[in-house]
Chain A
Amino acid sequence: MSSHRVTAILVLHDGATWLPEVVASLTSQTHQIDKIVAVDTGSIDSSAKLVKGARIPVLPMDRETGFGEAILHAVSTLPEITDPEHEWLWIIHDDLSVHRKALANLIAEVKTRPNVGMAGPKLLGWHDRTHLLEIGISIAANGNRWTGLEPAEYDQGQRDGVHEVLAVSTAGALIRRDIFEQLRGFDPNLDLFRDDVDFGWRLYSAGYAAIAVSSAVAFHAEASANERRTVDVAEAFLHRPLLLDRRNAAYVLLSNSSWWRLPLLTVQLLTGSILRSIGFLFAKLPGYASDEILAVGTLFIHPGELFEARKVRRSQRLVPASIALKFIPSRWSQIRLSLSRTAEWIRTQIFPDEITEVRDISILDENLDEEDLLTPASNRNWFSLIKRPLIASSLFLFILTLFWSRNRFGSIFGGALPEQPAGVRDIWNTYFSGWHSIGMGTSAAAPTWLAIVAVLATPFFGSLKFFIAILFFVAPLLIAGSGYLLLRQLSNNRWLTVGASLLYAISPVAISAINSGRLSTVMVLILLPLFISAAQGIFTLDKTTWRRIFGLSLLGSVLFAFSPILLIVGLLINVFAIYRDYSASERGINTELFNQRLYRRLALVITPVLMCAPWSFELLVEPKRFFIDSGFLLPGGGPNLALLGNPGGPGSLPIFIVSPLTLVLGISLFSSTKARFVAELGFISLLAAVLLSTVSMTGNGTSIATPIYAGSLLTLATISAISASVIMLDKLRERLITTNINFRHISAAVLLIVTALYSVTSISWIVSSGANSPLQTGKEVVLPAFLAIEGDAKTMVIRPRTTGQEVTLNYYLARGGDATLAQPDIAPADRDQISAAVQELADGTGLTASTTFAVHGIKYLFLKSPVDENIARVIDGLGGFSRASSTNAGIVWKISVNTGAILFTDSSGNSSVVQQGKLGITVNEPGELTLTENYSQGWRAMQDGSRLERKRSVDGMPVFTVTEPGSVTLMYDGTSRRAWISFQTIVIVTVMVLALPAGRRRREIEDAELA
C-alpha cells in the first residue's frame, strides 16, 4: 500500500463532450485516488450534472474564473497538510482521459525522486491515440510552446522513459501539494495557457524538478487550444485563445527570465509577433495576425503586472532563474526543426507517396502467408536505380550538360546576356532607382524580371554571377524537369514521358537559348510547362477557384516579365475563349456562367499587367517592345529556320540538324486523339513564330534593325509538338501490334527515325562545336581598365561589327564599364547630335565632333580593335582629340575640350567643369549649371532649400539657373519611381495573399486531423 495521498482536482468548463470518459478513467485507476474534487467554472452544458452523477463533489465558480484560480479554490477546501512529502494534487482537465495505470506509474516514479515537485504523463491525441502530443514541455525564446516533437508524431515508444523537463502540461500533472502551496499555485495572471510552463520554471527556481513519465499515459482533446469551446476567462480579451496564449507566453518569458536577457527577449518577442502576423496575413487569417500584435501590446501597456510578477518570483527563488535555461530550446534546434519540416513538405509536394506496385489479390496470392506480407521485399540496388527512367535520363542529361557547359564554368556573359553586377544589392539599386546612368541617362522603369532575378539570386549568397552561372548550367535539367511535370499528366508510360522531356531539353530552342545567353527564353522554357500544367481547363474557368486564378496570374506575371509576347498570346487565347463563351451564352445557355468566366479571364490578363507596372505600362506605350526579350538584341535566324522549330541566331543549331518538331505537328494534325487539338495550337504558334521571324526591329539599346528572335513562340510550339507526340505515342505500341501494317506504322517509323537522327546529331553538336557558344566564361571586357576607373566618365566606344559580309561601325556611350544586366532593356534612344558627330567622324567631315562630345560630357573616345586605320587617321586629323593610348585593345583619345558631368557657364559665357562633393557644388558667381544627362522632370537643383529654375537646353539637357553664389545640390527626385514601386508591391502582396492557400482556424480543423 502506497503512503502517497492523491487528491484529483477536475476543472470543468463546458466539457460534457469528454467528461463521461474522463470520469470513467479516473474511477478506474489502479492506484487509489484518495479524493476527487471538481471545480465547475460556470459550465453552461451538463458538465456539472454529469460529474455530480458520478458522486464527485462539485465546487461552483464564476464562468470567468481562471484555471489557476479554480485549482487554488479547490486546494483551499482541502484539509491541512499532514504529510508534506506524500500529499499530491493531480490536476485533471475535463477533456483529459487518463490510462488506468497512469497515476500508479506517476507515483512509482516520484517515489524514488524526492526532489520532483511535478510529474506529468505522456499526452496522446484524443481521437488518434497514436498521435504523440506532449511528453514534457518548454518555451522557446520567441514564446512558442516547445514540445520537441515532429508534427503529428506517431508514438511508437521512441520517446519513452522518464525525462527531466521544464514543465508538464497541467492536464494530468501530479504536483506535490506543499510545493504547490509554497509557490502559491499557478500564477493568477495566467488564467489559461502557459500556466504550466510558468509553474515549472518557478518550480526549478525554488529548487525542485519536474519529470515526464512516459509509462503514464493520458489522452488530451486540447479543447480550448483547438477552439472546441469558448475561452471565457477574465483575461481572455475578445475570447481569443491565440491572443491569450501569445500574451501569456510573453508574460512567462519576461517575468521569469534574468533581467539581462530582457532586452533581447523583448526584441525577439516583437520581431516574432510581427513575422507571425505577416505569415497569418498571407494565410488570410487576419484575426490571428491581430492576435499576435495585440498579445504583445496588451502586455507592454501594463508593465506593472510584469514588475509585480518578477517581484513575486524573486521572493520564491532559491536558485537563479537561469537554471531553467537548459530546457529552453536552442535557436539551432528550432531552425533544424523548421528546415526538417520544410524539407519534408517539399518532398511530399514533389514526390507524393506513390504506390509503386499494385497487386491485385487473386487466387494466386492465397498461399502467401502473413509473414511474407509483413516482410518488406527489398530487391533494389544501385543498378536498378539507374534503370529507372527519371534517374537514368537525369544522369544522362547531367553528363551531357557537363560537356556542353565546359566553357561556362565561372562567371558567364556573352550573346544576349550582359555582364552581371556582383551582388543582388546592385540589382535592387537599379530596380529602385528612378534614374539610370546608361548612355546619356534614362528614367525608364527597370524591367520587372530584374526584381525576380534578384529574388532568385538571394539564396545563392546574394551573388548574381553565381546564380546566373548555376542557372545556365542546370537549365537543361530544369527544362527537362518542368517538361516532365507536364508530360506525365499525358501518359503513364514513364519511358515515353521522360524521353520526351529529354527531347524538350535538347530542342533547338532550348539549345539556342542556353548557348546565346537568352535569359528570358530559358526562363520561359522552364516555366511555361508549369504554367500550362496549372492552366489546364482554362476554357472552363468557372470551375476554377479564384485562388487558382490568382496563382496562375502570379506565374503568368513571371512569364510576362521575362517574355512580354506571352501576354499577347494569353490575350488572344482569352479573347478567343470569351468569344466562344459569348457564342454559347447567346444561345441562351447561361449568362451567369459567361460572367463568371469573363471575370476570371479578365483577372488573368489584367493582373500581370498590374503586377509588372510601371514597366508594363511602358510596353503599352511602345508596343514593339512586346516582341523583344531581355538582354542584348541578337538576331534570330529568319522564317525558314523558325519553320523547323529553330529560332536561329548565334549559338543555334545549324540548319542541317533538323528537329522532328514540324513533322510531329504535321502527323499529329491527322491524329484522331487529343493530340490533334494540341498540334493545332502548336501549329498556330509555329506559324506566328515564322511570321514574327521575318520582322526586324530596333530596341534594347540598338538602332540596328534586327530580325526578331521568336524563342517564346517556338517554345510554345515545341511544347505542343512534344505533348502531341506523347499523346499520340502513348499505348501506340499496343495498337500497332494488334493491327496490320498501315499508315500508323509508317508514320511512327518515320517519326522515330527522324527523332533518333535529331537526337544523335544535336547531341553530337552540343558536345562538340555547340560548346563554343557566345555565352562563355572568361571573356575580356570591352572598356580598358583605366577608363573604367574614372567612375561615371562618359566614353564613346566605337567598334566595327561584322555581319555576314558587311562591316558596320557601331557605337555607344559607356559609363565607366561594360553594359550590365538589364541595361540594354532600359538603354535610352540615340541622341541625334551625338549620332551626327559619330557619323562625321566616320566620314571625315566632323570638325565639330569633339565639341559636340564635350557638350554632352563625353570625355573619351575609344576605337575598339580591330581598328580601322582610316578612321583612326580621320580622328587624328579632325582635331579636338588627343591620343591617350594605343594598345591591342584599341585606341583611346581624350576630348581636348575640358568636360565632365556638370558644366558651369558664367554670365560671360565661359564654361568650366564643376564637381559635386558631399556639400554640393560650390558656385562662386551667378550663371548656369548644365547637367550632361538627358533631360528629365526628376532633375532638381537645390540652393538654400529652394529649387533652382530648370529648363531644357537646346541639346536636350537640364540647365539650372543659379542667381547667386553658394552651394548647389543636384539630385534626381525618384518619388514617382518609389510610388510605382509601392503600387507594385501592394499589387504583388495582394495577389500573393489571394493566391496562397488560406490557413484554417483551429476550430475549422477536423478532430481526427488535430489529434
Chain B
Amino acid sequence: MRFQRPTLIVISAVAVVLAANGLNVGLSTNEYSTNFPAVVCPPTPANMTTAISLPSSKTPLRKTGTRSLSFVPSQTLRYTQTKAPVIVESQGSTPIVWQIRKGIWAGATICSSLQNEQWFVGGTADVTSKGKVLIVNSGLSSAVVDLEIWSEVGAQQTKPITLKANSYRELGLDSLAPGSRDIVIRTLTRSGRVTSYLLDERGRGLKALGGDIVNFSSKATKEIYIPAVPHTVRKVGNKTEALAHSLRLLVPGELDARVTVKVLSTDGSFIPSGFENKMVKAGSVIQLPLNPNLPASKFGLHISSDEPLVASVYSPTFSQKKTDFIWSTSAPELTPISLATSGLSPSLVFIGGAISIDIELLLDKGKQKVIKVRGNEIATVKIPDGVRSITFTRVEKGIYGAGLIATKSGYGYFPLAPGSVLTKSSIPLSNIRVLTP
C-alpha cells in the first residue's frame, strides 16, 4: 500500500514520456512552395528564323522589351519568334529552339531560366567571325553581367555589361576578343535575371562558312561528358574522307591539368592516341585535333581531368555542297525531364555505363508511346515525327544525353538538360526574431 501511489506515478510518468515522444503534436516548421521558373529563349538576330517547340498551344509566353508584362497563350505548338526573345512559362517542359539562317546554317538550343554562371566553349573572334553573345535580361530591374573571356593567349580583362530591365543585347565576338581564334566565354550574373546565348557564325567575305548555337555548361568540372558528336564522312572522288573534329579545352584554374579523353562509340570505347594524360596548360584555350577512325556515325566523349575544365567539340559538316559546323558541348547527367519537340525529330544519343532509359513520347491528340532504350556505353534513338514532347520517365544514374537535329539548313545540337528545374523554396515565415541579432 505504501508504494502504491508512487508506483502509480512512476507508471504514469513512463506513459507520459512515451506518449510525448509518440505524439507528433509539434507542427512542421517548414512549408515549401515549388514551381518551375519561366524559361528564356534566345533572341532572333537579323535575317534569321527561330522556331520554338512548345509543350502545348496554351503555353503562356511574353516578349521581352515590351511594356506588357502579361503572359499570353502561344496558340501554337511551334512558336515562330520574330526578334525579341520570349519568356515561356513552360512548367517543367523545356522548349527546344531551332534557329536557322535559311539555307546556310542551323543551330539548336534549349530555352533556359536565369543562370548565375554560364560557360560557352566555342566561337571565334578572328576575321571570319560573325558570331555574337546574346544576353537577355528577363527581369524588371537592370542587370549587371560580367563577361570573362579566355583565348588561346590567355584570359582577358573582365567586361561588365549592364542591361536595362526587360531587355537584351547582342555583343559581337569580334569586339569582345578581337583577333582571337579560339575563345571561351564565361558569363557571371552579378544582378538581375539573366540568360545568355552564344551564336558562332562564320564567313569569309561573302562566303558563309556555317554557324551554330554554342550551348552552355553551367560550371567547370573534372568529369565532362559530350554525348553526341556527329562524325561526318564525305566522298572525295571514290574515297571517303572523315571530317576532322577539334576538341577545345580550357582549364580555367591556376594549375595545369592532366586530361584523358575517351571516345565512346558503337564500335567500342578507346582513348585516341595522344589523349591519355595529356597535359593541358591552365588559363588559355587550346584546340586539339580529334580524328577517331570511325565510320559515319555519332560518338560520345568522356573527358576526365585532375583539374576542373570546360570542353566542347567542333565538328565540321558537309551536306548538299554546303559546309557547316556543329558544336557538341558537355551535358549534365540525365535526369527525368521533359522536352518539347514539336516539329522536330531529333536523334538522341546517350552515353554512360549501362544505359537504361524509358522515354515517353507524347504524340498528337494525346497519344502516348513509351520507348525503352537499353545499351552499353552508347545508345541512340530517333524520335519520330509528330511527337509533341518527350519525357524521360526512368533514367539510370550516370547517363548523359544530347540531341542532334539535321535539316536542310544544317545540323543542330542540344544537350538533354532541363531548361528550368523545379525550384523548391521554403515559404518565408513571419518572425519578429529577424529584428534581433
Q: Residues of A with Cβ closer than 8 Å to B?
A: 413-414, 418-419, 438-439, 632-633, 639-640, 643, 666, 669-670, 672, 676, 680, 683, 686-687, 690-691, 693-696, 700-707, 779-783, 797-799, 801, 803, 806-812, 814, 818-819, 823-824, 827, 830, 835, 838-839, 841-845, 847, 864, 869-870, 872-883
Q: Which residues of B contact A669 (CB under 8 A)?
A: 5-6, 9-10
Which parts of B378-408 form the interface with A (CB within 8 Å)? none
Min distance, Cβ B176 to any Cβ of chain A, angstroms: 23
Known A690-B20, A818-B436, A844-B423; contact A701-B30, beta-carbon cutoff 8 A? no
Min distance, Cβ B227 to any Cβ of chain A, angstroms: 28
CB contacts between A and B, total, < 8 Å:
203
Q: Which residues of A contact B114 (CB under 8 A)?
A: 873, 877
Q: Which residues of B contact A783 (CB under 8 A)?
A: 435
Known A669-B9, A873-B191; contact A801-B431, beta-carbon cutoff 8 A? yes
Known A783-B435, A824-B432, A872-B191; contact A691-B140, beta-carbon cutoff 8 A? no
Contact in complex: A807, B426 (CB < 8 Å):
yes
Give A264 to B182 CA distance when docked, in angstroms: 98
Contact in complex: B433, A632 (CB < 8 Å):
yes
Of A672, A687, A781, which is in contact with the most chain B CB atoms at under 10 Å from its CB?
A: A687
Known pairs A683-B13, A694-B25; list 6 more (Cβ under 8 Å).
A414-B437, A683-B9, A686-B13, A690-B20, A872-B191, A879-B141
Give A824 to B166 CA distance when docked, in angstroms: 41
Q: Which residues of B contact A864 (CB under 8 A)?
A: 434
Which parts of B401-437 form the interface with A (CB within 8 Å)? 423, 425-437
Q: Which residues of B contact A844 (CB under 8 A)?
A: 35, 37, 193, 423
Which parts of B146-161 form the interface with A (CB within 8 Å)? none
Contact in complex: A797, B428 (CB < 8 Å):
no
Q: Which residues of A contact B27 (CB under 8 A)?
A: 696, 705
Contact in complex: B434, A680 (CB < 8 Å):
no
Of A779, A807, A879, which is in contact with the most chain B CB atoms at under 10 Å from its CB?
A: A879
Q: Which residues of B contact A835 (CB under 8 A)?
A: 428, 430
Min distance, Cβ A627 to any Cβ of chain B, angstroms: 12
Q: Which residues of A contact B9 (CB under 8 A)?
A: 669, 680, 683
Min distance, Cβ A797 to any Cβ of chain B, angstroms: 5
Contact in complex: A877, B143 (CB < 8 Å):
yes
Which parts of B249-282 form the interface with A (CB within 8 Å)? none
Of B137, B165, B435, which is in contact with the most chain A CB atoms at under 10 Å from its CB?
A: B435
Give A879 to B138 CA distance when docked, in angstroms: 10
Which parts of B114-147 form the interface with A (CB within 8 Å)? 114, 116, 137-143
Q: Which residues of A contact B308 (CB under 8 A)?
A: none
Which parts of B189-236 form the interface with A (CB within 8 Å)? 189, 191-193
Min distance, Cβ A566 to any Cβ of chain B, angstroms: 20
Contact in complex: A676, B6 (CB < 8 Å):
yes
In the complex, B33 has a CB within 8 A of chain A = yes
Give A171 to B437 CA distance when docked, in angstroms: 72
Known A687-B16, A876-B192, A878-B139; contact A808-B436, beta-carbon cutoff 8 A? no
Which parts of B24-50 form the interface with A (CB within 8 Å)? 25-30, 33, 35, 37
Min distance, Cβ A799 to any Cβ of chain B, angstroms: 5
Contact in complex: A873, B116 (CB < 8 Å):
yes
Contact in complex: B17, A643 (CB < 8 Å):
yes
Give A511 to B210 CA distance when docked, in angstroms: 75
Contact in complex: A414, B192 (CB < 8 Å):
no
Q: What are the 7 tightest A-B residue pairs by CB atom distance, in nearest-first order?
A: A879-B140, A877-B139, A877-B193, A701-B432, A705-B27, A669-B6, A639-B20
Interface size on B, residues (CB 8 A): 53
In the complex, B1 has a CB within 8 A of chain A = no
Contact in complex: A809, B193 (CB < 8 Å):
no
Q: Which residues of A contact B138 (CB under 8 A)?
A: 877
Min distance, Cβ A270 to any Cβ of chain B, angstroms: 48
Nearest chain A residue, comparing its CB with the CB of B33: A843
Contact in complex: B431, A701 (CB < 8 Å):
yes
Min distance, Cβ A865 to any Cβ of chain B, angstroms: 12
Contact in complex: B436, A806 (CB < 8 Å):
no
Min distance, Cβ A983 to any Cβ of chain B, angstroms: 29
Q: Which residues of A contact B429 (CB under 8 A)?
A: 702-704, 808-811
Known A419-B436, A873-B192, A874-B193; contact A811-B140, beta-carbon cutoff 8 A? no
Min distance, Cβ B327 to any Cβ of chain A, angstroms: 27
Give A803 to B28 CA distance when docked, in angstroms: 12
In the complex, B69 has a CB within 8 A of chain A = yes
Contact in complex: A812, B432 (CB < 8 Å):
yes
Known A687-B12, A806-B29; contact A700-B37, beta-carbon cutoff 8 A? no
Give A883 to B165 CA distance when docked, in angstroms: 13
Contact in complex: A879, B437 (CB < 8 Å):
no
Give A640 to B28 CA distance when docked, in angstroms: 19
Main secondary structure of the interface of A (DSSP, over half): mixed
Contact in complex: B436, A707 (CB < 8 Å):
no
Give A691 to B5 CA distance when docked, in angstroms: 21
Give A702 to B434 CA distance when docked, in angstroms: 10
Contact in complex: B141, A882 (CB < 8 Å):
yes
Min distance, Cβ B385 to any Cβ of chain A, angstroms: 36
Min distance, Cβ B434 to any Cβ of chain A, angstroms: 5
Q: Which residues of A contact B436 (CB under 8 A)?
A: 413-414, 418-419, 632, 782, 818-819
Min distance, Cβ B305 to any Cβ of chain A, angstroms: 27
Give A819 to B6 CA distance when docked, in angstroms: 47
Contact in complex: B10, A799 (CB < 8 Å):
no
- List, sorted by A's number, 6 A–B pairs whose CB atoms are closer than 8 Å: A639-B17, A643-B13, A691-B19, A702-B433, A781-B437, A809-B429
Give A686 to B25 CA distance when docked, in angstroms: 18
Of A438, A705, A864, which is in contact with the most chain B CB atoms at under 10 Å from its CB?
A: A705
Q: Contact partner of B432 among A827, A869, A876, A880, CB < 8 A?
A: A827
Min distance, Cβ B11 to any Cβ of chain A, angstroms: 11
Min distance, Cβ A69 to any Cβ of chain B, angstroms: 75
Contact in complex: A879, B165 (CB < 8 Å):
yes
In the complex, B21 has a CB within 8 A of chain A = yes
Known A690-B20, A781-B437, A797-B435; contact A876-B139, beta-carbon cutoff 8 A? yes
Min distance, Cβ B189 to any Cβ of chain A, angstroms: 6
Q: Which residues of A contact B3 (CB under 8 A)?
A: 670
Contact in complex: B430, A703 (CB < 8 Å):
yes
Contact in complex: A707, B139 (CB < 8 Å):
no
Of B26, B35, B37, B428, which is in contact with the most chain A CB atoms at under 10 Å from its CB?
A: B428
Give A798 to B436 CA distance when docked, in angstroms: 12
Contact in complex: B140, A877 (CB < 8 Å):
yes
Contact in complex: A811, B430 (CB < 8 Å):
yes
Give A853 to B17 CA distance when docked, in angstroms: 46
Give A706 to B430 CA distance when docked, in angstroms: 13
Known A705-B27, A876-B192; contact A812-B427, beta-carbon cutoff 8 A? no
Known A810-B429, A843-B425; contact A877-B192, beta-carbon cutoff 8 A? yes
Give A870 to B143 CA distance when docked, in angstroms: 13
Nearest chain B residue, comparing its CB with the CB of A869: B116
Contact in complex: B140, A779 (CB < 8 Å):
no
Contact in complex: A806, B30 (CB < 8 Å):
yes
Contact in complex: B432, A690 (CB < 8 Å):
no
Min distance, Cβ B9 to any Cβ of chain A, angstroms: 5
Min distance, Cβ A22 to any Cβ of chain B, angstroms: 72
Known A704-B429, A882-B141; contact A812-B193, beta-carbon cutoff 8 A? no
Give A827 to B434 CA distance when docked, in angstroms: 13
Min distance, Cβ A993 to any Cβ of chain B, angstroms: 39
Nearest chain A residue, comparing its CB with the CB of B437: A779
Give A803 to B16 CA distance when docked, in angstroms: 27
Nearest chain B residue, comparing its CB with the CB of A868: B425
Q: Contact partner of A801 among B13, B69, B192, B434, CB < 8 A?
A: B434
Q: Which residues of B contact A839 (CB under 8 A)?
A: 33, 427-428
Give A705 to B29 CA distance when docked, in angstroms: 6
Q: Contact partner of A799 among B23, B137, B166, B434, CB < 8 A?
A: B434
Contact in complex: A880, B140 (CB < 8 Å):
yes
Contact in complex: A797, B437 (CB < 8 Å):
no
Known A666-B10, A873-B114, A879-B165; contact A703-B431, beta-carbon cutoff 8 A? yes
Give A161 to B255 CA distance when docked, in angstroms: 103
Give A894 to B77 CA distance when docked, in angstroms: 41
